[in-house]
Every structure is written in structure tokens, then in C-alpha cells.
Amino acid sequence: MEADYRFLTVDEVPGYLASVPALAERIDAGRLVSVGEIGDGNLNLVFLAKDADGRGVVVKQALPYVRMVGEGWPMTPEREKHEIQSLLAHHALVPELVVEVLHHDEGRHIIGMEDLSDHQVWRHALNDGATHDGAAAAVGRYIGAVAFGTSVFGLGRQELADAQAAAINPELCEITEDLVFTEPSVDAGRNEVLPENEPDAAALAADDTFVDAMGRAKYAFMTHGEALIHGDLHTGSVMVRAPQGSTVADSVKVFDSEFAFYGPVAFDIGASWANYVLAASRAFAMGDDARGQWALGLVDQTWQAFEAEFRTRWPERVDPRVWRDSFLEERIAAWRAEAWVFAAAKMSRRIVGAAKVTDVQTLPPDLRVGAARGVLAAARAAVRVSGDRSATAFSELCGAELVRHRTGG
């Protein structure tokens, strides 16, 4: 292990909460009614504590290895610093859309956060057939605010340099570079698909156009330090809530940004698009075409909200002397086009590579084959488009491939 520190346990949580003033203010540690380990991610321990008055806090501890694998895949626990820095920076820009940080224990790599147990993980809600209208637009607003507020447009030169230096995150970036851009087509021993999808995975690896596109995308990811992006934005890193009986989200919160670094704005956009396609693949595989089309419609909702948020903030740019409106139009068009390829990368890795998603994995095997095949076909098709690179065109292309392959054909 990289650090000699105690792992937090359920039994230790009450005493820990009582010892931290910032957390003790939010919960009565002497009257707890429940403490549980709720982490379902790949990396960390996550505890939720509730007191007799219904108040709660979340305590998250970074482990010195990848949790889903174990000690055989070591990883620095200091990644929690990047999560703290990014959450604080993002919360300052759109506090209503980012989980609130209450406490940071640097020695034990622990973060205390607000309780969102009245929310659902968006991926789980989507899998259950819920809608939460407005959530996709909220994600777009979040990306737009971050793209402007943490970039050359929103920060002075020294402030930007300090933020960039603090956000250097090579170890987690390398995980993305390997799992997202390289290993779906160059297997490092972590890839796995159903036997019926093995020809699809082989076709992806043999597709020179796709592999070349991934090379360009990986280069952009490693060199285009445009903003302090989330770095792992997907429907599993967004919490949603709707009033009883409503289909409209009244709260949307982004969390889990330990992969944050200064990277390409379009990466977060493409990552969100990819997850909507994965949600749509589930619906189409289950024969719910209306639901599938609805999920694909989230692509345009996120894009439109992103663009509107960025344009709204544009007049406040730090240096308008040469960054004129014509430059804005060029940036918007470039990010829209780049999102296609980043989305393709994210789609393929969730089907072929490590860390798959429940949207597809929890389908019965006979339905999963066609869903997986459709997602891979859509990813390969997306990198070939040279004409219309709109969000709507992306949705239409992906929808056609998902429907065409859903029966396994």
C-alpha cells in the first residue's frame, strides 16, 4: 500500500463523526439510527449515517487500490485531493448542481459530504424506467459552467496556472487513457464479452478507422488542457430527485469527480452522450422503442443546455480583445464534433472493456447480445461521419444502429 492509514469501518463511523466539528454540526452522532457502507463503485469506501431526526452525512474514503479488483491493482489514495479540488471549484460555479463538501481529512483520505439519500443514482433510475425530465439539461448546464469558469475564459492567467498545477492527476488519467481509448481495441487482458459478441469485439479491434480515431481522441485527451473537467461523468456519477408522483427532476447533483483534471471540454460532453446511448440500448433491447427514443433525446437536451450556458457566460470572458464572437462559434462547432469521437470511445469501453454498466449487463443474455452489438456498431459508425456533426444527427445514427442490431442480427 502507498499509505499507512486505517480503513474506516461501520463501527468507527459514529466516533469519527463526533470528532469532526463540521460533520457533528450536520448530524447527531450520539443518536444515530443507521450506519451503512453503500459504495457500489469501483474504487472507494462510502458510508451513509443517519440520526434520529432524519439528518445524514456521507463519508467517503479513498483506498490504495482499485476496489473492484483488489490489492493487485494499486492506486494512490491521494486522488481524493483531486475530487475535493474539483468539487469545490465546480460547486462555486453551480452550487445547485454539485454535491456539497463538508470536510476533508487529508491524512486518512476521507471526504465528508452532504447526504443525498433522498436522491437516486441516475443510472439506477433510468434502468428502472424513470424519466426525471430536466436532468439531462442540468448536466449540460454543469458542463457549460465548468467549461467557462475553470478555463482561460473565466480565470486570470495566474489563477489559471495555479489551478492547472493543482489538478495534475496522472495516475487516474492513465487509467482513462488505457481503459477508454486503448484497451477496447488492444486487449490488455481485462476485456470480456459474451461468446456471441466475440466477433463484434474482434471486428472493433480490426477496424483501422476506429482505432485511428481512438488514437486521435487519446492524443486530444492527453494534450488539450482546456478546463477542469469532471473526467468520469456518466449517469452513475449524477444523483437525481423528483417529487412524489412527478416525472420532473427538482434536484440534480453531480459527484464523484476524482478523475478531474485539465482536459478537453468535449470529453465530458461525449461521456454523457455515450451513457444516454447505453440507456437507449437497454430500452430498444426490451422492445420499448418509445423509451429508447426518449433516452436518445437526452443527447440534444444536454448539448443545448451546455451551449446555452456557455453562451450566457461568454460576455464575461476575461479577455475579449481577440476572443471575439467568431472564435466562440468555432469553439462550439469544434466541441460538438469532438464529442462524437469521445462518445464512441466511451460506448465501446463500456461494452468490451473493464468496468461495464448495468444498463446492458443486467439484460438477459439473449437481449444483451443485440444491445452490445448495436452499441459497438454505433461507435464504429460515429467515427466515420464527416458531414453533419449535430447532437440530433448523433442520436439518429445511434438509434438506427441500436434498432438494426437489437435482435442479435
Tell me the average pLDDT across 46-62.
95
Tell me the average pLDDT across 341-369.
96
Range(s) of the chain covered by CATH 3.30.200.20: 13-114
175 has a pLDDT exceeding 80: yes
Tell me the average pLDDT across 83-108.
96
Confidence of residue 4 (pLDDT cuts 50, 70, 90): low
How would DSSP label each residue in 106-170?
A: TTTTEEEEE--TTSEEHHHHHHTT---BTHHHHHHHHHHHHHHHTSTTTS-HHHHHHHHHHT--H
102 has a pLDDT exceeding 80: yes
249 has a pLDDT exceeding 70: yes
Tell me the average pLDDT across 213-235.
98
For residue 64, what pLDDT is reported?
80
Residue whose entry in the numeric block shows the C-alpha cell 452522450: 273
12 has a pLDDT exceeding 60: yes
Measured in residues, the chain has a length of 409
Decide: 59 and 110 in contact? Cβ < 8 Å.
yes
391 has a pLDDT exceeding 90: yes
Strand partners, 66: 70
Tens of pLDDT, residues 129-154: 999 999 999 999 999 999 999 999 99
**Which region among 43-52, 57-66, 172-181, 383-392 has the lowest average model confidence (pLDDT)?**
57-66
Tell me the average pLDDT across 341-350.
98
43 has a pLDDT exceeding 80: no
Whole-number average pLDDT of the chain: 94
Range(s) of the chain covered by CATH 3.90.1200.10: 120-405
Tell me the average pLDDT across 199-226.
98
Tell me the average pLDDT across 179-203.
96
**Which region among 4-13, 59-68, 356-365, 398-407 has the lowest average model confidence (pLDDT)?**
59-68
22 has a pLDDT exceeding 80: yes
Tens of pLDDT, residues 304-337: 999 999 999 999 999 999 999 999 999 999 999 9
pTM recorded for the entire structure: 0.94
Instruction: Give me the CATH code for the 120-405 domain, please.
Output: 3.90.1200.10
68 has a pLDDT exceeding 70: no
Confidence of residue 71 (pLDDT cuts 50, 70, 90): low
For residue 176, what pLDDT is reported?
97
Tell me the average pLDDT across 328-353.
98
| Sequence-distant contacts of 398-401: CB under 8 A, at least 24 apart | 398/277, 398/280, 398/296, 399/280, 399/284, 399/292, 399/293, 399/296, 401/374, 401/375, 401/377
Tell me the average pLDDT across 374-396.
97
DSSP designation for 248: B
pLDDT > 70 fraction of the chain, expressed in percent and rounded: 95
Tell me the average pLDDT across 224-235.
98
2 has a pLDDT exceeding 60: no
Q: Is the dihedral of CA 365, 367, 371, 373 positive or negative?
A: positive
| Sequence-distant contacts of 400-405: CB under 8 A, at least 24 apart | 401/374, 401/375, 401/377, 402/277, 402/280, 402/281, 402/284, 402/292, 402/371, 402/374, 402/375, 402/378, 403/284, 403/289, 403/292, 403/374, 404/374, 404/377, 405/370, 405/373, 405/374, 405/377
66 has a pLDDT exceeding 70: no
Q: Which CATH architecture has domain 13-114?
A: 2-Layer Sandwich (3.30)
Tell me the average pLDDT across 153-178.
96
DSSP designation for 317: -
Cα–Cα distance, 284 to 266 (Å, whole number): 27
Tell me the average pLDDT across 339-346.
98
Cα–Cα distance, 92 to 88 (Å, whole number): 6
Cα–Cα distance, 59 to 45 (Å, whole number): 8
